[in-house]
């Protein structure tokens, strides 16, 4: 995988680091990065050698949001062209959100606007103690539009009103309190490694199915969920992973997907 705006590395454990790599622009999202992030989400999601993806930023920032040159380039386009460009951000976020691997956010610095959206699509988020956040779009006369389904889902409507309507910056402690961050860490790499180690205990196929399960259950009523979940557990019992997991427990040994 070769990219212009990203750096992707996969280690021997199957841990992929997906790094936004425009440090001179504070990893702001332009058309090229948006396209490459969607591409990388698909490639990493479909790579059986990858078990976990860590999303982070190069340099001092995580992601400063939308690149203003990209914003400016869309002003004089037709409405149809502007909608299409806006839609690329939506499809990229959807691709990251639905990646069938755990997506761990390593929030190494400031995340503003669309950068908060990038945090919101992660499954587990760890922020450096010095990191800052802001849904700053309204201060620019814009809206946190494409990111809103993920941000509102993550932090709720009340915290969304609190943060989106003023555009004021807030610190890592506040981000953790409202649920944007899972945890705040003084030693970011050590905290990320601990989370990676925990996730490596899980069966990859079961993880992918569980991400689908969560999405389904969250968007359906109880009657539908009772049918879906009954079938899901029956399906799991029929998988190679399910059989291996049960057998390894009864035989008091590690299952095949565990690190030796």
CA–CA distances in Å: residue 258 to residues 232, 240, 241? 23, 15, 12
Q: 203-217: per-residue pLDDT in tens? A: 999 999 999 999 999
Looking at the structure, tell me whether residues 124 and 208 fall in a common domain. Answer: no
In a domain, 213, yes or no: yes
Domain end position, chosen among 162, 181, 199: 199
- The residue to which tokens 């587990």 are assigned: 124
Mean pLDDT of 54-72: 92
Please state whether the predicted TM-score (pTM) of the whole model is above 0.85: yes
Please indicate, yes or no, whether residues 73 and 171 belong to a single structural domain of this protein: yes
Total domains in the chain come to 2
Higher pLDDT, 195 or 81: 195
Could you tell me if residue 148 is left (phi over 0), alpha (psi between -120 and 50 degrees) or otherwise beta?
alpha
Of the candidates 197, 191, 40, the one whose C-alpha atom is nearest the C-alpha of residue 118 is 40
For residues 129 and 217, state if they share a domain.
no
For residue 14, the Cα-to-chain-centroid distance in whole angstroms is 17
Residue 74 has pLDDT above 70, yes or no: yes
User: The CATH number of the domain where 37 resides is what?
Assistant: 3.90.226.10
Start-end of H helices in the chain: 31-45, 68-75, 79-97, 114-120, 148-164, 172-177, 188-199, 204-218, 222-238, 240-250
Q: What pLDDT band is residue 69 in, cutting at 50, 70 and 90? A: confident
Is the residue at 259 inside a domain?
Answer: no
Contact 40, 32 (CB under 8 A): no
| Whether residues 93 and 216 fall in one domain | no
Boundaries of domain holding 17 = 6-199
Decide if 256 is inside a domain: no
Q: Which pLDDT score, from 0 to 100, does residue 148 have?
A: 97
d(CA 117, CA 119) in angstroms, rounded, equals 5
**Residue 98 half-sphere exposure toward CB, CA atoms < 13 A:** 11
Residue 190 shares a structural domain with residue 246: no
Are the C-beta atoms of residues 12 and 96 closer than 8 Å to each other? no
199, 221, 241 - which closes a domain: 199
**Contacts of residue 45, Cβ cutoff 8 Å, sequence gap at least 6:** 95, 99, 100, 101
Q: What integer is the mean pLDDT of 217-231?
A: 97
pLDDT band at residue 75 under the 50/70/90 scheme: confident
Whether 101 is in a domain gets the answer: yes
Residues 137 and 164 in one domain: yes
Average pLDDT over every residue of 152-181? 98
Q: Is the pLDDT of residue 260 over 70?
A: no
Q: Are residues 87 and 212 in the same domain?
A: no
> Is there a single domain that holds both residue 100 and residue 130?
yes
Q: Are 112 and 237 contained in the same domain?
A: no
């Amino acid at each position: 995988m070769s990219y212009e705006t990203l750096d992707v590395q996969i280690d021997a454990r199957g841990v992929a680091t997906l790094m936004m790599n425009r440090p001179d622009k504070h990893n702001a999202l332009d058309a090229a990065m948006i396209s490459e992030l969607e591409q990388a989400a698909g490639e990493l999601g479909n790579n059986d050698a990858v078990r976990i993806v860590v999303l982070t930023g190069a340099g001092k920032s995580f992601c400063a949001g939308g690149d203003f040159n990209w914003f400016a380039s869309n002003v004089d386009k037709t409405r149809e062209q502007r909608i299409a460009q806006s839609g690329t951000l939506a499809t990229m976020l959807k691709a990251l959100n639905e990646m069938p691997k755990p997506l761990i956010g390593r929030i190494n610095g400031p995340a503003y606007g669309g950068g908060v959206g990038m945090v919101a699509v992660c499954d587990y988020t760890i922020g450096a103690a010095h990191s800052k956040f802001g849904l700053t779009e309204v201060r620019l006369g814009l809206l946190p539009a494409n990111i809103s389904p993920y941000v509102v889902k993550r932090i709720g409507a009340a915290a969304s009103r609190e943060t989106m309507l003023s555009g004021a910056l807030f610190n890592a402690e506040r981000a953790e309190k409202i649920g944007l961050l899972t945890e705040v860490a003084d030693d970011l790499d050590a905290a990320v490694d601990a989370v990676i180690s925990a996730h490596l205990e899980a069966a990859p196929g079961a993880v992918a199915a569980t991400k689908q399960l969560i999405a389904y259950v969250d968007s359906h009523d109880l009657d539908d969920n009772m049918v879906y979940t009954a079938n899901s557990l029956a399906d799991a019992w029929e998988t190679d992973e399910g059989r291996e997991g049960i057998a390894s427990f009864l035989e008091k040994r590690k299952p095949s997907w565990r690190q030796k």
